[in-house]
Amino acid sequence: MDFAHADAINQAIRLLSLRHRARAAALLAPLGLHPGQEALLLELARTGPMIQAQLSEALGCEPPSVTLMTRKLEATGHIRREPAPFDKRASVVELTDSGRDLADRVRRVWRDLAEETVAGLPDETVAGLPDVLNALTANVDTRSRPRR
């Protein structure tokens, strides 16, 4: 691949990432959320209670980031943390009733953002996007392969 094509690909991915995150932030702000917190809420809504280490792995982020997010969401009453029965050093995180309600609102925002993002694309392209984007993510996921 020549540099011009490589640069076009990298710039497009970079700009999409920046603009998508900024748009998500704007849509999540009225809900009192910052980017990343919605993913935590949606993961708990999908899976149910889990320890913070599992949540960190599921979200693909560092444990200190999950700790900070859980503290903030706990302070607003959307989640609760309890010591894990099998390991008092670990915390089990679960949604509260307000957290479940907020997760429902986040789902609507997330759907709207996805529809806005793919507006004007053919249905076939939209249908294939998750596979393409997941493949791109796997290609650059440094957690799944040794560094060169």
d(C-alpha 42, C-alpha 35), whole Å: 12
Residue of 96, 107, 101, 104 whose CA lies nearest to 70: 96
Side-chain-facing half-sphere of 114: CA atoms under 13 Å:
10
Domain locations in the chain as residue ranges: 3-119
CATH number belonging to domain 3-119: 1.10.10.10
Residue of 106, 115, 114 whose CA lies nearest to 46: 106
- DSSP at 61: S
Model pLDDT, residue 148: 52
Model pLDDT, residue 141: 83
Residue of 118, 101, 126 whose CA lies nearest to 20: 118
Q: Which two tokens stand for residue 9?
A: 């690909």
Model pLDDT, residue 50: 94
Q: Using an 8 Å Cβ cutoff, are 66 and 110 in contact? A: no
Q: Which two tokens stand for residue 33?
A: 């959320």
Per-residue pLDDT of the chain (148 residues; tens, 9 = 90+): 999 999 999 999 999 999 999 999 999 999 999 999 999 999 999 999 999 999 999 998 899 999 999 999 999 999 999 988 888 788 899 999 999 999 999 999 999 999 999 999 999 999 999 999 999 999 998 765 555 5
